[in-house]
Amino acid sequence: MPEPPRFYLDSNIYLAWISGEEGRVETARELLTAGENRRLTIVTSTLVYAEVCGHGEVRSPEAEEVDNKIRTFFEHGFLRWIEVDLPTARHARVLSRGYGLRGADAVHLASAIRGKAERFMTWDVKDFPIGKVVEGVTVQEPVAYGQGTLPV
């Protein structure tokens, strides 16, 4: 059986799902559910965990409930984690200069490349080279992939 496609999902996709962001939550849920059901492989950086946990939703009055939702989700075994190590940081530096990316954005893209993702999905269209193929990874806005079942 062939391996499913490999997608890297930027932090804003996880945050859209966690916060129930109108106009995006459905797409985020469908992508994450496709990963959970092994219809696609989700590659992600350990930086995603830090960014999502440090977001405003976690500092809200419902912080404990949101934090539990994040922790439970990220402990699923279907995510392929890419560590932010020195080689990844060095690659991010090259990508930052070549594509005008900020540090964290360059780390995400370097992690996607290292994780052999086919697609890098982000709603951050102002900062990423949307529509370009960077070292084999197509950078694009998120699109749904399958039917969703994760709770909002």
pLDDT at 69: 76
pLDDT of residue 59: 57
| Portion of the chain with pLDDT greater than 90, in percent | 70
Reported as a single tens digit per residue, the pLDDT across 13-25 is 999 998 889 999 9
On whether the CB atoms of residues 8 and 139 are closer than 8 A, the answer is: no
Contact 111, 85 (CB under 8 A): no
Q: What is the pLDDT of residues 115-124, one digit of tens each?
A: 999 999 999 9
Q: Count of CB atoms within 10 A of residue 63's CB?
A: 12
- Per the structure block, which two tokens stand in for 31? 């992508």
What domains can you pick out in the chain, each with its CATH number? 6-140 (3.40.50.1010)
pTM of the model: 0.88
Token pair 């960014």 is at which residue? 51
